[in-house]
Amino acid sequence: MQTNKLKIGIVQQSNTSNIESNIQKLEKNITECAHKGAELVVLQELHNGLYFCQTEDTDQFDLAETIPGPSTERFGALAKKLGIVLVLSLFEKRATGLYHNTAVVIEKDGTIAGKYRKMHIPDDPAYYEKFYFTPGDLGFNPIQTSVGKLGVLVCWDQWFPEGARLMALAGADLLIYPTAIGWEINDTPEEKQRQLDAWTTIQRSHAVANGIFVISVNRVGYEEHPTPGENGIEFWGNSFVSGPQGDYIQHLDTKEQNCVVEIDKSRMEAVRRIWPYFRDRRVDFYQDITKKFRD
């Protein structure tokens, strides 16, 4: 009998420059989540290695891989063994000189259910992603899986309500954000708290505005800047699962941690009946939303 209950595993971990060691730790953590009953496991952004976008370095393109490729094959075999749906985040080499920041959803049988190429690409100090990633061209389309339609986006996408709305309008059951975000170590405690609060608030607002569950998975740990004397990034973790009213179902801290959370997807229907935002949208007056700015 089909059930609306779904157990979701979150893997929040720190990484080193040793990719094989990172992957082995990921495999261990994924397996731990599966043994706790997780049917869907979500990993953080660019989970195989360090966050290499702190600088612009052409040697880092050597980290990119094809899809399908080594990671989808290896993690696909694990997903099949454990009988889980798995959300990956990879540095995709589409062609020579053409690279993407790409999320891949692996089905329970180990096959690729679909992929999403990060649409919004930041270019800020310590987050020089425009140097590495071409903006995505697959649009905002949920990926159909055996556990539901997954609205997968990536990190910087989480600040834009348009992507969340379009995924929800296309029938997504969940919004999923693999993430790599942290503090500059010299920020004051007050500024750090403001940044963290803004990050959680914007994503929980997507849950409220769309009556949908949100899963956001961030990395943890301090990663040094490759340039001596420069400050690195202290990744703040705080991965969470939000219900369709913006409520925390689970909220982690800044430590490495795995957890399994059970949600009831029928809550979406119940919440949308009492808060019918889709019914009341004035689509006949939204044409200007596609403009860069209204003069």
This prediction's pTM: 0.96
**Catalytic site positions:** 45, 118, 155
**What single string gives the DSSP state of each residue in 81-135?**
HHT-EEEEEEEEEEETTEEEEEEEEEPTTSSEEEEEE-----EETTEEGGGT-PP
Within a domain: 294: no
Q: Is 49 exposed, middle or buried (0-12, 13-18, 19+ CB in 10 A)?
A: middle
CATH assignment at residue 139: 3.60.110.10
Q: Is residue 44 pLDDT above 90, yes or no?
A: yes
Residue 1 has pLDDT above 50, yes or no: no
Average pLDDT over residues 9-28: 98
Mean pLDDT over the full length of the chain: 96
Strand, helix or coil at 37?
A: coil
Inside any domain, residue 265: yes
* Residue 290 counted as domain residue: no
Mean pLDDT along residues 269-289:
96
pLDDT confidence of residue 229: 82
- Residue 2: pLDDT band (50, 70, 90) is low
C-alpha to C-alpha distance for 161 and 164, rounded to whole angstroms: 5
Residue at 104 is within a domain? yes
Q: Where are the beta strands (DSSP E) in the chain?
A: 5-12, 40-42, 85-95, 98-106, 112-117, 123-124, 127-128, 143-145, 148-152, 174-179, 182-184, 213-218, 220-223, 233-236, 240-242, 248-251, 257-264
Q: Which of 266, 277, 156 is nearest to 209 (CA)?
A: 277
Element (DSSP H or E) covering residue 189: helix 189-210
- Report the C-alpha dihedral over residues 112, 113, 119, 124, rounded to 10 degrees: -50
Domain coverage including residue 247 = 5-281
In tens, the pLDDT along 253-268 reads 999 999 999 999 999 9
Q: How many CB atoms are located within 10 Å of the residue 276 CB?
A: 11
The answer to whether residue 92 is domain-embedded is: yes
Cβ atoms of residues 6 and 40 within 8 Å: yes
Q: Is residue 276 part of a domain?
A: yes
Number of structural domains in the chain:
1
At 106-149, the pLDDT tens digits run 999 999 999 999 999 999 999 999 999 999 999 999 999 999 99
Side chain identity, residue 38: A
Tell me, yes or no, whether 236 lies in a domain. Answer: yes
Paired strand residues for 179: 218
Which is higher by pLDDT, 206 or 2? 206
Average pLDDT of span 282-293: 94
pLDDT, tens only, 209-240: 999 999 999 999 999 999 888 899 999 999 99
The structure tokens listed for 97 are 């000189």
